[in-house]
Structure 1
């Protein structure tokens, strides 16, 4: 059992972050008789899950939905995030291809190269 301050230090974050996660519904923490938050192993594991989901790009509303008790709802959020990330990867790969060509291009100016112009038109 840990206090919010101890849990925050253990997780490497600020206590206000844990309060915020609880406020938006991404984290459930039980309270003692005096109303103080008590972080047991379950709450710490839940906080680590929130941290990990945030680190892979989910917003707090997405994290909350991804941790929904109904698995199909959680899977839908995760599937949408995967699709968005795959779109970002494709866009980055296209940017790298374009930039690599401009780096290797024998033309002095991008405007002088038909391949560069094709990349620009496709964007």
Structure 2
């Protein structure tokens, strides 16, 4: 089944200009008909769906483009880098939560007076 850009966008739950932007950025390649209109067959729609998933998990368009490369090792390297970045972000977030929980329950009037708060602040 072949879809227009509007139909493909509606099926993906995004705006048509997003698909155009992805194509312009090199993250998506879409065939065109004899009149130059983009045609989204099942394969093109699946590629667009993959781009959408990668964007939703936090990859930038350049990262998506690299992750969609036919060379598997290059794609895996991009994904591994993103995993490492996300894991680092999770660690920072967990440290922030620990610090904030302590400060919310801290018995000291001023956080500067608390050795634990000072230790947490040095870690962040």
Band of TM-score, shorter chain: over 0.9
Who is 1:75 aligned against? 76
Q: TM-score, normalised by structure 1?
A: 0.96
Who is 2:123 aligned against? 122
Unaligned segments of structure 1, at least 5 residues: none
Q: TM-score, normalised by structure 2?
A: 0.96
Who is 1:13 aligned against? 14
Runs of 4+ in 1 over 4 A off after TM superposition: none
Query: What is the deviation of 1:8?
Result: 1.0
Query: What is the deviation of 1:5?
Result: 1.0
Q: Distance in 2 between matches of 1:115 and 1:5?
A: 56
CA RMSD of aligned residues (A): 0.8
Say how many residue pairs are matched: 123
Say whether 1:35 aligns with 2:33. Answer: no
Unaligned segments of structure 2, at least 5 residues: none
Q: Secondary structure at the match of 2:65?
A: helix
